[in-house]
Amino acid sequence: MSLEAWQRALRRQFGREQKFLLKSAGGHPVSSEFEVTNPQTRNRYRVVIRGSEPGNNFCSCPDFATNTLGTCKHVEFTLARLERKPGMRKALARGVAPAFSEVYLHYGARREVRFRPRADATAELTRLAARYFGSDGTLRPGAFAHFEAFLPTAARLDPDLRCYEDALGFVAQVRDAERREKALGQAFPRGIRSPGFKDLLRVSLYDYQREAALFASRAGRSIIGDDMGLGKTIEAIAAVEIMARHAGVERVLVVCPTSLKHQWEREIARVIDRSARVIGGFRRAREDGFRAESFYKITNYDTVYRDLDLIAAWSPDLVILDEAQRIKNWSTRTARSVKKIASPHAIVLTGTPLENRLEELVSIVQFVDQHRLGPTFRFLHEHQILDEFGKVVGYRNLGRIGKTLAPVLVRRRKEEVLQQLPGRLEKRFFVPMTPQQMAHHEDNRATVARLVAKWRRYRFLSEADQRRLLIALQYMRMACDSTYLLDQRTDHGVKADELATLL
């Protein structure tokens, strides 16, 4: 049994064992849309049945969109329910005569927009479709540019015509990419030597930073994986500015660790005249933050799952993920929440895009393009080496991964751009203290304030007071690191965790 056949069999078995809820959303008993509900998660998915062969049907779930199998557990559940009716198994095997014409997105090795006419389609509709779609029903490459002219005419000829959101979204994605490439080609005809870079930011960009900014702008959704210290923040801001001027970007959401939120705010203010607002505090304060006018909104990973509704309502044009290692574990709440953020453009910043586990690479790439690496089961099968117990003992064909990621990943190491770098750069990161740290810090600050006031009054401190002053100052510094340095019992502090994240 092939890998694909085995994966289909798994979904068929699992789907037919489920106790989902099925509801028909159309009048036809088979050639219709169905709503499948998981009573445990309350998630609902739209299922369209066109026959029993894999690839004919559709489901709105994420698995169907990425597995290239042409089926999923929701489709298999629906087929199992329909096959209970007399004669339905044979009817499904023959294929269901469509009761309506439809434009849909076919999910295979390549995504394709297809047209499927109803059984009694008029000759006029057939002739119209032939101008836009090939003999196999696939939208011609040259027809994307004027696809919007097809729909109203086809709807007039067939009032029951259906065009699904994923198909429209794919057409829009292709057309946006073509327009963006054309606009950037005109704005930067000489690449990184184009005059457009001269007044892009208040600071000058190194050549490799210009390359990254232009790469991210052209890709639309990309990963910047330069080594730490090469200025990924500046590269992202430059890419945003390019897309703001030439691709209509007006709302940018920055998601980063808590310790970097104000660093992002300061960096934006330093290099560009764009408004930025840090999102934080209780729910009401965060609501006010998203309602306020600003080009940039800066939030942290830990609050994304609470604010998905606020983010969706604000509808960012572009999302920046800084320190994207935070979503490398796909099963965590943070990763699942971040991947629910919808935006036309995205820039992912990480110094280590390829680590010890390919699953972590998959999780990061999925945010940029969930179709880029293909189905996860096939990707891991092609690149992991397993022992007899199923444990990963090595990797293979890693060069192919680099070629696959080339359209969305730019990565440079320090030694590659060393000649462009200055001698040394210093960066300061500010992290908040925990309440326990603050309590120790304030107690000792009060001691310092009292002794300083005494010195100002008498211009004299005894040796004992001087010793108490030095001890209090030392305790204040220690409290900023961790309470463990003070009592050897508790360990309240965030510096070590944030340092580990940065490294």
**Mean pLDDT per 10-residue interval, the chain, length 503 residues:** 91 93 74 86 89 86 92 94 84 76 88 90 94 94 92 92 91 94 95 94 95 97 92 97 96 96 95 96 95 97 96 97 92 93 96 72 94 92 88 87 93 88 73 90 93 90 90 93 88 80 64
Among 295, 209, 213, which residue's Cα sits nearest to residue 254?
295
| Contact criterion met (CB below 8 Å) for 441 and 433 | yes
* CA dist., res. 119 & res. 97, Å (int): 6
The whole-number pLDDT of residue 241 equals 98
CA–CA separation, 318 and 371 (whole Å):
19
pLDDT value for 27: 60
**Nearest C-alpha neighbor of 240 from the set 216, 263, 260, 264:** 216
Asked if 365 and 373 touch (Cβ cutoff 8 Å), the reply is yes
As a whole number of angstroms, the distance between CA 262 and CA 267 comes to 8
Alpha carbons 193 and 216: distance in angstroms, whole number: 17
What pLDDT was estimated at residue 355? 53
